[in-house]
Structure 1
């Protein structure tokens, strides 16, 4: 029971910080301005550890590598703490690989959340700074799907198709992670 509670708390805190790091990276890559509520939240959650990292790892072109490294470090700490709490049930050498899986899992979960919010906001037709930011973040993801999925009765089904594809990616990722854990437990 204690392990489950610790896992939940570490998942929430680690997921929030990792997601903020990845959103910071994605917003900078898409050149979405941070002068909006989403950008303010991202800065508030990440500045305290991304800015020192940026002194060590400067941005390269459009890529803020320090945000990516920050997200990976948060996942590393999260899985390291879980490894310690579990009493080293698996080899510690697997922790960095689990952290990488965690980073991808948070990225996919974040994209799913972004698409769901985008779909809901498109139904109510609100014009707010937040809906504009979310629309700009979802557009590059939806464009390739929209080329293959035609409008059905004037309804854009591309978010639904992309959500299904992301869910499939999450299932595949879960199976890969389980295979790594099974191999680590047997080895």
Structure 2
């Protein structure tokens, strides 16, 4: 099977192509080592990968006529506070996150209080306080559908009305506030 994957994608054994919802770009992921990267890993067959990406990850192939591209999808922003038990305890803000889950909860509850009081917005806070790379876009994750996000995140996001902000949502990534 690993040979079939290499033949199809050109990637070394153990690597796969995934899609980043925050950047709306494909990336490379190794589920065994949990390593993710924007550049193809060493040992990639560039020509095979180029063909694979052109066939399966080209925006022209997603919705050639543009019709229905947002059908069944919602758009949301979030603010993420990671802790040492998060799936990937590092971020653009901090190479190694060492705070406990309780400390992270205290931080995110403080953010929620500031948002609910009208002192600031989720987007303004996300820019400087979110542990997600979507912070560059004020926490905007773009449009996503059912099955695109972690279940807890998706359930909370789809339950919100446009303009609403969730309470704290816990996922394997950390603690989130979500705004639809």
Name the TM-score class by shorter chain: under 0.3
Counting helix residues as a fraction of each chain, which structure ranks higher? 1
Q: What is the TM-score of this pair, normalised by structure 2?
A: 0.26
More strand per residue: 2
The normalised TM-score by structure 1 is 0.26
